[in-house]
Amino acid sequence: MDAQKLTYFLAAAHTQNFRRAAELCHVAQPVLGRQIAALEQELGVTLFERQGKRVALTPAGAAFIPHARSILAGIQAGRQALESLRESVEGRLEIGCIEPLAAALLPPAFAAFQSRYPQVRVSVTVSGTEELFGMLERGNLELGLFGLAPERMRPHPLLALHELYHDRLALFLAPGHPLAAAGAVSFGQVAAERLALLNARFAMRRILERIFAQHNLPLSPALEIDNVATLKLIVHRGGISTILPQSLLAPEDEAVGMVALPIRDVTDLFTFALVYRLDGRLSPPAQGFIRAATESLSRPDREGEG
């Protein structure tokens, strides 16, 4: 049982389509099909039911997913342990980062990384969550920096998470706002605010729509925008508020009097994490970035706040 067969199996389990799985693995579909058939023969079970162009996991196939992930994770950990023995790290690293985190989390992570690995060239793509996840699946990026909602924390057959810290949503207010000294707010108080929010391009917007629907309230922002830095500048001028993960209140925001108040009856925890493909070799630059980001960005969980 080799890593390649397991990778093909996990890709097919994720896509439920051999053609799409072959595209993710950069191989011809017949090659992927033969390797999965060989894995089934090796295991002595049928992993997929074939129905024309469609495939579906059998109970045995579904049960095998966590074991396949565990084996690949073990292989990758072994490779990383050997790579860590190298005296110097060089090369190129392709990273993706969602826009809300580009200003808050990427700069300290890159500064820590660059001081240790000055010979590595880094390319950063800033985009939306779905676009970056697709690029990771296809192998166009080696690492992605995300803020993941609870529904995104379900195991992905092809991707692994390196968690940095957890956070909760907060109401961002301008200096002098009547609620600024409250310490925390209720969801009812949030819903009564005039809101400016990230637009539908961002996963954050879909999360807020779900939360408002759970409270049987419509979500009708006065302003929609696609840039967090500009959004916070607008809030700072007063007359409008926003909802963002609490950790996005930067020191420079606090310096001008902006506050971020925890929302008492919204308990969703968001996980800030580096995401990478489980299969294949995680390069020395990628391993170095994970170490540097962990040290520069880790902080105590915020689960108990508010």
Six-digit token pair at 156? 């992905």
**pTM of the predicted model as reported, rounded to 2 decimal places:** 0.68
CA atoms within 13 A on the CB side of 213: 6
Considering only CA atoms, which of 164, 120, 158, 74 is closest in space to residue 288? 120
For residue range 124-178, list pLDDT tens digits in order: 999 888 889 889 888 899 999 988 876 665 667 778 888 888 889 999 999 999 9
- pLDDT for 150 equals 67
Decide: 16 and 57 in contact? Cβ < 8 Å: yes
Q: Is it the case that residue 207 has pLDDT exceeding 60?
A: yes
Question: Which segments of the chain does DSSP mark as H helices, in order?
Answer: 3-15, 18-25, 29-43, 59-83, 99-102, 106-116, 129-138, 187-191, 203-214, 228-236, 251-255, 284-297
Mean pLDDT, the chain, rounded, equals: 86
The CATH architecture of the domain made up of 91-306 is: 3-Layer(aba) Sandwich (3.40)
Phi-psi region of 51 (alpha: psi -120 to 50; beta: other; left: phi over 0): beta
Residue ranges covered by each domain of the chain: 3-83, 91-306
Between 89 and 199, the more confident residue is 199
What confidence tier does 299 reach under pLDDT thresholds 50, 70, 90?
very low
The SS3 of residue 226 is: coil
Domain 3-83 CATH class label: mainly alpha
- pLDDT for 63 equals 93
Question: Residues with Cβ < 8 Å from 121, sequence gap 6 or more?
Answer: 91, 92, 93
Q: In angstroms, rounded to a whole number, what is the distance separating the alpha carbons of residues 217 and 247?
A: 26
Decide: 39 and 187 in contact? Cβ < 8 Å: no
Q: In angstroms, rounded to a whole number, what is the distance separating the alpha carbons of residues 306 and 295?
A: 26
Q: In angstroms, rounded to a whole number, what is the distance separating the alpha carbons of residues 230 and 197?
A: 11
For residue range 213-265, list pLDDT tens digits in order: 999 998 999 999 988 999 999 999 989 999 999 989 988 999 999 999 999 98
Q: Looking at residue 155, what DSSP letter applies?
A: P
